[in-house]
Amino acid sequence: MDKNKLKLTSSEIGTLWGEYVNGTMTDVVNRYMFSIIEDESIKAVFEDAIKTSGKQKKQIIAFIENEGFPVPIGFTESDLNKGTKRLFTDIFCLNYLHIMTLHGLLGHTTSLGVSVREDLRHFYDSCDNDAKRMYHQTIELLLEKGEFQRDPYFYPATNPEYISSQDFTDGFFGKGRRLTALEIISISFNLKKSIMAKTLSIGFSQVSQSKEVRKFLEDSEKTADDQIQAFSKIMHADNLPVPKSWETEVTTSTDAPFSDKLMMYHIGFLFQAAQAYHGTGLASAMRTDLVAAYESVILKNLMVTKKWFDIMVKNKWLEQPPLAPNRKEITKEK
| Residue spans per domain, the chain | 7-145, 171-315
Burial (0-12, 13-18, 19+ Cβ within 10 Å), 330 = exposed
Q: Is it true that domain 7-145 has CATH number 3.30.920.30?
A: no
Are 116 and 129 in contact by the 8 Å Cβ rule? The answer is no
Can you tell me whether residue 80 is helix, strand or coil?
strand
Which pLDDT score is estimated for 2? Answer: 58
Per-residue pLDDT of the chain (334 residues; tens, 9 = 90+): 556 578 899 999 999 999 999 999 999 999 999 999 999 999 999 999 999 999 999 999 999 999 999 999 999 999 999 889 999 999 999 999 999 999 999 999 999 999 999 999 999 999 999 999 999 999 999 999 999 988 888 777 787 877 766 656 555 544 567 888 889 999 999 999 999 999 999 999 999 999 999 999 999 999 999 999 999 999 998 899 999 999 999 999 999 999 999 999 999 999 999 998 899 999 988 888 899 999 999 999 999 999 999 999 999 999 999 888 777 777 776 5
DSSP 268: H
Q: For the domain with range 171-315, which CATH number is right: 3.30.70.141, 3.10.105.10, 3.40.50.970, 1.20.1260.10?
A: 1.20.1260.10
Contacts of 325 (CB under 8 A, 6+ apart): none
d(CA 321, CA 222): 30
d(CA 155, CA 170): 23
The residue type found at 282 is L
Domains 7-145 and 171-315 equal at CATH topology level: yes
pTM, full prediction: 0.91
Which pLDDT score is estimated for 167? Answer: 59
d(CA 221, CA 229): 12
Which pLDDT score is estimated for 171? Answer: 54
Which pLDDT score is estimated for 217? Answer: 97
d(CA 225, CA 219): 10
Among 61, 58, 52, CA closest to 31 = 52
Which pLDDT score is estimated for 105? Answer: 92
Which pLDDT score is estimated for 165? Answer: 65
Contacts of 174 (CB under 8 A, 6+ apart): none
Which pLDDT score is estimated for 286? Answer: 85
> Residue 7 — φ and ψ, nearest 5°?
-70, 140
Residue 194 CA neighbour count, 13 Å, CB half: 28
Are 88 and 33 in contact by the 8 Å Cβ rule? The answer is yes
Which pLDDT score is estimated for 173? Answer: 43
